[in-house]
Amino acid sequence: MRFYNNGTIHKCFLEFKPAHGLDAKSLSSLLIDELRRFGLDLAYLVGQGYDGASVMSGIHKGVQKFVRNVAPRAVYVHCYAHRLNVVLGDVCKSVLAARDFFALFEHTDVFTSVSLMHRMWMDVQKEFYPTEPARQLQRLSDTRRCCRAVACVNIRDRLHALLAFLYSVPHDCTGDRVVEAKGLLAQIDFKFVVLLRLFCDLLGKIWLVSEQLQAVSLAQHSVKLVQNLTECLTKLHLTDDFTECLFEQAEA
């Protein structure tokens, strides 16, 4: 909950509450009842923010509509951070290179998560980076695509260890694991490394904006943040220097 008091915007958590019905009417009734239980006057409710699911955002039968029936000034806003993630999801699905890159990314994560493979992956990292803590390859999320920036950085920083790990699997295992390791190793090629460098850069910039969109002091600057990000990404796309730098990094 966000509220204004004594010239300052505050943000606080009220409680978790089990939902016994997942339809809009049940969810809105639960929400309204709980706000009243905390002694909050709905006449002063001026905003409500959810994701874009129809059960929440529907203009006729969504949660936001039922809430506005009792709090007419509670304008619904689709969470800006969620909108950014939805756009990223649609882009990654429509660009074949991005779709295939993240599919391979996810298969690699799953492969290194299996008990025996996970232990081997930890051991290889200790060999290559004895003074640094071993890193997990993070599971990708469809609802928090901006966080894939961290996952990409982990692969980038541990790429040499990952290649050595996949190469060593055939010597220590048999059967399906060998086939999977060889398949992953064959696909982690120069194109993959170029895309890895690209997404580390792009998702890093997007992740910073996503974090700011969830800040307490965001206020009226959200649209400007997205506009600045769009301009920044457009300029990168148009420069040869960025492409040359990307290839140089991939070759290193």
Query: Regarding predicted confidence, which is higher, 96 or 213?
Result: 96
- This prediction's pTM: 0.66
Q: Report pLDDT digits (tens) over 105-128.
A: 888 988 988 878 888 899 999 999
Give the integer Cα–Cα distance in Å for 74 and 61: 16
Give me the pLDDT at residue 209, please: 77
151 and 101 Cβ atoms separated by less than 8 Å: no
Q: Report pLDDT digits (tens) over 71-118.
A: 999 998 887 777 777 777 787 788 888 889 888 988 898 898 887 888
Phi (first) and psi of residue 75, to 5 degrees: -70, 135
Q: What residue ranges do the domains of the chain occupy?
A: 2-78, 83-251
Long-range contacts of 132-137 (CB under 8 A, 24+ apart): 137/108, 137/109, 137/112, 137/113
